Amino acid sequence: MSNKVSLSTYSTKGFHPGAGKVYIALWYIASVLIVRNPLMFFSAVKVLTLRGFGAKIGKGVVIKQGVNIKYPWRLQIGDHVWLGENVWIDNLVKVVIGNNVCISQGAMLLTGNHNFKLHSFDLITGSIIIEDGVWVGARSTVCPGVHCRKYAVLTVGSTACSDLEESKIYQGNPAMVKRNRWP
């Protein structure tokens, strides 16, 4: 039986991180020392650092310890947003987070994946949009290209592989509608 996957032919199909190697290296250093640092408790310092590297961040944003952001220049965060401990924003492309959003501990926002239908396992990407009032539960995953509409809830440990409707509560892997958020 021959090997059906050949990573030697892997392609990012023109993907570019949006910055030069030196800038990315500087970001990684700042990220380790300030944003991901478990001893850095001051959200304001993290916000200033992210803004310095091109993130658009509103007021009243709380960034807890261990948050990992791939490319801040591809991140937009509204007002009064909470990023819990160890949140991972793997934003190879744009991630937009609205106002009054809670991204709980250990949640992952993933904008990249691999095309498993190709032998070369090429990179595929899709932006993530999280509208106002959304709650992404602890250890949940939002996959590439997903649009979470206003007030949707993705419960603990769930995986959003497709768009979430407004004011609905989703659970499971893949996440399915369980009920309305509001009576």
Residue 3, C-beta contacts closer than 8 angstroms, at least 6 positions apart = none
Whether 12 maps to a domain, the answer reads no
Structure tokens at 174: 């893949």
Counting the structural domains of the chain, the total is 1
Residue 174, C-beta contacts closer than 8 angstroms, at least 6 positions apart = 159, 160, 161, 162
Burial of 105 per CB tally in 10 Å (0-12, 13-18, 19+) = middle
Q: Please tell me whether residue 98 adopts helix, strand or coil conformation.
A: coil
Whether 71 maps to a domain, the answer reads yes
Provide the pLDDT for residue 1.
Answer: 45
Contact 130/144 with Cβ under 8 angstroms?
Answer: no
Whether 85 maps to a domain, the answer reads yes
Residue 18, C-beta contacts closer than 8 angstroms, at least 6 positions apart = 71, 73, 74
What CATH number is attached to the domain comprising 96?
Answer: 2.160.10.10
Q: Which residue's entry shows tokens 């809670």?
A: 102
d(CA 135, CA 103): 6
Q: Please tell me whether residue 3 adopts helix, strand or coil conformation.
A: coil
Q: Provide the residue range defining the domain that includes 71.
A: 18-180
Provide the pLDDT for residue 118.
Answer: 87
Whether 90 maps to a domain, the answer reads yes
Tens-place pLDDT, residues 70-123: 999 999 999 999 999 999 999 999 999 999 999 999 999 999 999 888 888 899
Q: What is the pLDDT along the chain (183 residues), one digit of tens a residue?
A: 456 888 888 888 788 999 999 999 999 999 999 999 999 989 999 999 999 999 999 999 999 999 999 999 999 999 999 999 999 999 999 999 999 999 999 999 999 999 888 888 899 999 999 999 999 999 999 999 999 999 999 999 999 999 999 999 999 999 999 999 998
Q: Where are the alpha helices (DSSP H) in the chain?
A: 21-30, 43-52
Whether 13 maps to a domain, the answer reads no
Transcribe 61-118 into DSSP letters.
-EE-TT-EES-GGGEEE-SS-EE-TT-EEE-SS-EEE-SS-EE-TT-EEE-EEE-TTS
Whether 82 maps to a domain, the answer reads yes
Q: Which residue's entry shows tokens 């993130």?
A: 55
Q: Torsion angle of alpha carbons 37, 43, 45, 46, nearest 10°?
A: 60
Whether 116 maps to a domain, the answer reads yes
Nearest to 54 by CA among 98, 13, 91, 87: 91
